[in-house]
């Protein structure tokens, strides 16, 4: 159970990468813009996470995480993968919808 959450996150990221590769939506279209966008969004969300942890709004169930923490037991390494997945999926969905609406061939 300890590696289940991390494994699911990695499999999900791989699925997004495969979709991105097939349709050239984010990283396979404009890699620098995609990287800057994702890093910026992840930094903002990580900052919000740290505030939530300090205010004791967020906590982590330690039985579902690997045990590698980023400064606090409530900020596991899986959070970085989750934030990447969240930001990347938003960009993939947005670019896919934009191309469908504008009738660009996929």
C-alpha span between 40 and 87 (Å, rounded): 10
Q: For residue 105, what pLDDT band results from cuts at 50, 70 and 90?
A: confident
What are the sequence ranges of the domains in the chain? Answer: 4-101
Which residue do the tokens 């890699």 mark?
Answer: 31
Measured N-to-C along each axis, helices 31-54 and 78-101 cross at an angle, to the nearest 10 degrees, of 130
Q: For residue 104, what pLDDT band results from cuts at 50, 70 and 90?
A: confident
pLDDT at 106 over 70: no
Which residue do the tokens 């982590």 mark?
Answer: 60
Which residue in 51, 31, 48, 44 sits closest to 87, CA to CA?
A: 44
Query: Are 29 and 35 a contacting pair, CB within 8 Å?
Result: no
Q: What's residue 1's pLDDT?
A: 78
Average pLDDT score over residue span 39-68: 95
- pTM comes to 0.92
What does the block give as tokens for 62?
Answer: 């330690």
């Amino acid at each position: 159970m300890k590696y289940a959450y991390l494994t699911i996150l990695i499999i999900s990221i791989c699925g997004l990468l495969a979709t991105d590769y097939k349709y050239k939506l984010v990283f396979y279209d404009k890699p620098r813009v995609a990287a800057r966008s994702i890093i910026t969004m992840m930094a903002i969300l990580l900052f919000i996470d740290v505030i939530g942890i300090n205010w004791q709004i967020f906590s982590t169930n330690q039985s579902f995480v690997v045990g590698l923490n980023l400064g606090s037991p409530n900020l596991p390494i899986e959070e970085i993968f989750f934030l990447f997945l969240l930001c990347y999926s938003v960009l993939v969905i947005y670019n896919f919808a934009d191309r469908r609406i504008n009738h660009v061939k996929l």
